[in-house]
Amino acid sequence: MTTQGFFFKLAHRLSPGAWLAVAVIMALLATGSGWVLYSRLDEKGKDRLVLAYESIGPFWRETWRLTFERKKEGSAELAGAIRIAPVGTLDPDASFVWVTHFSDFVSLPEDEAFPEPLAPVRLLDPEWNPAFSPR
């Protein structure tokens, strides 16, 4: 004879599908009642509610990050850091795939990169007023 607790029996009274339906209905009820409550609040109340939500949000996110993401990274030190260069670039003992070949690119000829101006440099100078003959 097995002695099973109240919650175990309750969990098995309905099928998983029925429990899913209960969960969906409850979620809808919670959302609906939340929306009704929110719409009935005055402006200050809404501000406070949003502030509370915004204060709690980072707490959960940080809790999640500090609990799981450090382990995932394998290095507590670099948790949350954004990387572009290979990890350990400034570490003298780090091991890498060494460079055995590389390809240089062909740059533009210097003449094209720094073209000589065709028009006189002073052309755009408002102070320059060349004396010229109309002929």
Partner 1 sequence: MIFFTKPLLTMQWLRWMVGVCLAFALQVSARASEVLEPVYLYASPLTTAFFSANGSDYDTLKTRWRAYLKRFGKSYREVSRADLVGGLKPGVLILGSAVLLDQSERQAINDFASRGGSLVLTWGTGVRDGSGRWSGYGFIENLLQVKVRGKLEVSDEEHFVNTFGDSPLTWGLPAGTRLFLGLVGETPLRIEGPQLAGRYFNWSRIPVDKANNGAIAYLEHGKSRRVFIGFSEASWEFDDRMELPKALDSMMSWLRREPRVFKAAWPNGELSAQLLEMDTEDRFPNALNFARDLDSAGISGTFYSLTSVAKSHADIVRQLSDKHEIAYHAEVHVGFKGKSREEQESRLATMVEDMKGIVGSRALTRISGFRAPTESWDANTEQVLRKLGVRHHVADPASSDSRLPFFSASEPGLSSEDAIVVLPRTQMDDLNFLALKLGTEAASAMIVRDFDYLHESGSLGVLSVHSQNYGEGGLMALLTPPYVKRLQEHRHDVWSATGREIADWWRSRERVAVKELGRSVSDKGFQVDVRAPGVMKGLTLIVTHPSATQPLKAVVSGRADQPKPQVQRLDDQRSAIIFSEELKPGQYGYSLEF
Residues engaged in binding partner 1 (CB under 8 A)? 77-87, 89-90, 92-94, 96-108, 110, 113-114
Q: Which is nearer to partner 1, 97 or 131 (CB)?
A: 97
Q: Which is nearer to partner 1, 36 or 99 (CB)?
A: 99
In this structure, the chain runs to a length of 135
Q: How far is the CB of 112 from partner 1 (least distance, A)?
A: 9
> Residue 30 or 78: which CB sits closer to partner 1?
78
- Quote the CA–CA distance of 72 and 65 in Å, as a whole number: 10
DSSP labels for 14-78? S-HHHHHHHHHHHHHHHHHHHHHHHHHS-HHHHHHHHHHHHHHHHHHHHHHIIIIIHHHHS-STT
Distances (CA, A) of 94 to 14, 84, 98, 124: 57, 16, 11, 56
Nearest-CA neighbor of 85 among 72, 70, 71, 96?
Answer: 96
Min dist. Cβ of residue 53 to partner 1 (A): 20
Q: Which is nearer to partner 1, 36 or 82 (CB)?
A: 82
Please state the closest distance from residue 117 (CB atom) to partner 1, in A: 11
Minimum distance from CB of 87 to partner 1 (Å)?
6
